[in-house]
Chains A and B, each alone.
Chain A
């Protein structure tokens, strides 16, 4: 593969979920800068998740019996699941990969477990989408006012005289400046500043004067009748916040192993641009070091990266929504249900004996529509002995790949597909894989080669 194509593939894996062969050809004809520009410009026009939520609308209205209400709640739960699936399908189908990637990144950063309201879930995802490449300060403020977050981190219970520190603590520890750069006293004072930040039933932000503490507070050395907006302003004035976010971005988009100089450069750009996320990401993608060999093919794909990447590559859909939840759960990354507010630790943490074997076999399960002989752990609320097993039924369309390869012989197909799908150093020779590949027709060859390549440990990294 030409070095230009290698770079573009790398860019698209990190800024999205891979690239099609045809787009790769097109992109390789223009300078890399143009490709980066397009990715960023597209993502600056965020298409929001748009779906009607009839059950939620209905549940807002009063005047039902308890039984009717219970039925409706069950339906609301289903509608909430529908929102999650809609998001996943969007990641697969979207031609705005950076927007989808940034949304996923921010979900891991501002991690929350969605409640029961489909509307809150949708609003939260749209908050992330709206600000995905915008200003970080605006994003933090929007998150502080977001109904799903207010609910998740108990800010409704945060009242004058009875502060609940949950949101204030995570704001400092996980969302902005990081542990070690503030005191316990700062947490207490920040909590007071966010008292009265709540939402109405419909999820609109509501500032309750009755519950807000209007007295003087001292936060990180500044004293005044501070409110939540002031806390966010003060914490962003501290350059450590830029460093904290730049480090997280570097670890996620570039390499878990930090290069102190590169991170410092990102932190400077971020801080000096007043926390412009677009500028930060542009600096990452435009830097030479982003394309250094030591940063390519070394990141363990998250379960969602793996699934979405496969589905995009094969133009695949899963026939039942349940399959989405089963696959996520068994690989250890259920969107909108992270282990806790710290999000997913990532890296080698994704891998243990059972998740790895499932990940390696995933392509096979999806290609062959088999019954997966594994059970996901039941939810605590589940009845006893409930084992969730699943047949993974899929539809897929590999005709664009077949068309693209239609004039090539086996050797050329082998090198095209392996270079396209495998970012890691690749040592296998065609002859070594041949015994595992069907050679009857070109179609057989391409399909079985796709399957085998996607089963290699090397396919688990990008």
Chain B
């Protein structure tokens, strides 16, 4: 088969490939998505779950954490066993309104205590002895993005996480759409994009297609984010700004379905208290404004927010007033359509540890399965490449 034929047969010679369909769709119909939004918040570095959702009724917690434990009276009580870190007052009010679910003891078998490896496992949804090259949401995009809208999954960042990389499709990263637009659409690159030929070899064609898609999406997102400014006051922290950007895009009904943001700084080996509490407060304060803003604008029922970290931390504090890498951890969900808001399952068992670390009771892939099946409406097995029973959370 000669190259031209090959290209024809694989559809790469087709001109339609180069026309971003979402743009024509928007122009024709005043594109309205009306779908559900999924927002993932990644806490990088390994958040200390035990000082986030505090087992204030457990002596072992106080015994293991002579300097770091949060005094019982300061804890914001969720039930008889567990309470929030006092910095999480914003989350507490969402909890009281039935807009938040806490899942305890989330992890996976044979846990890895390396940041990179464990984050990879969370991103790819592999087991700890498998090395996968695609992310779970990337594989969702592979199967469920027929219109090829590049920003179906949008990370508010300059580079893209593995979670959003599929085999054939990837998510879209833009910390600031206007800035990306500037980088992608200078006059030369505009000219280059206009000048592409239709018989490029496969890889060159792919580069041109990605360039043109990126220019179109950056233009589109820049326009859309100009179109609406939230009336609520978001904190001027990085998470506050990210959530305000996302809110504006949700209101504008762009065809982004999945948003991804990252908060770093949770690797608290030394002097943990101030570092962690500052981050928790930033998160909680911004999240409260965001969720209330969505509620006010009738978008909360269409929104699901999941927050996770690559691992929790060791039960016993170390000698530097910090904690070392651990295993199982809590995961948060927020939204208007939670099935079982509140504390979803049992508190961590501090008696039955695995080499000083919590044992997981909920495989994180069951959580992914719930999101895929009950929120995104797809068959989880197609994405997770194995069958995991969804939990009754959404």
List chain A positions with a Cβ less than 8 A from chain B: 113, 169, 294, 297-300, 330, 332, 339-342, 345, 347-349, 351-358, 360-361, 373-378, 380-386, 424-425, 427-428, 432, 436, 452, 455-458, 460-461
Contacts and interface: CB of A to CB of B under 8 A. Distances in A.
A384 B264 contact: yes
B201 A384 contact: no
Contact of A353 (B173, B197, B203, B238): B173
B317 interface: no
B387 interface: no
Contact of B207 (A342, A351, A383, A452): A351
Contact of B264 (A169, A378, A425): A378
B41 to A, nearest CB: 14
Interface residues on B, range: 35 or more
Nearest to B184: A357
Interface of B: 3, 44-46, 115-117, 119-120, 129, 131, 133, 150, 157-162, 165, 170-175, 179-180, 183-184, 187-189, 191-192, 195-197, 200-204, 206-208, 210-211, 213-214, 217, 238, 262-265, 267, 275, 278-279, 310
| In the A-B complex, the 8 residue pairs with the closest CB atoms | A384-B265, A380-B115, A457-B207, A353-B214, A354-B173, A352-B170, A374-B158, A342-B131
B131 A375 contact: no
Contact of A457 (B174, B192, B275): B192
B197 A427 contact: yes
Nearest to A377: B159
A373 B265 contact: no
B84 to A, nearest CB: 20
B204 A461 contact: yes
Given A381-B115, A457-B211, A353 B172 contact: yes
A101 to B, nearest CB: 20
B210 A384 contact: no
A461 B160 CA distance: 22
A352 B265 contact: no
23 contacts: A113-B116, A169-B129, A294-B3, A332-B159, A340-B120, A351-B207, A352-B165, A353-B217, A354-B159, A354-B174, A357-B180, A360-B189, A377-B161, A380-B119, A382-B264, A384-B278, A385-B264, A386-B264, A427-B197, A436-B187, A457-B196, A461-B201, A461-B203
Given A340-B117, A353-B217, 5 more contacts: A342-B131, A348-B203, A348-B206, A381-B45, A457-B208
Given A380-B45, A384-B263, A298 B197 contact: no
Contacts of A460: 204, 207
A303 B184 CA distance: 18
Nearest to A376: B159
Contacts of A377: 157-159, 161, 262
Contact of A424 (B45, B171, B201, B214): B201
A428 B188 CA distance: 13
B22 to A, nearest CB: 14
Contacts of B264: 378, 380, 382-386
B204 A424 contact: yes
B179 A373 contact: yes
A356 B207 contact: yes
B120 to A, nearest CB: 6
A380 B116 contact: yes
A384 B279 contact: yes
Contacts of B119: 380
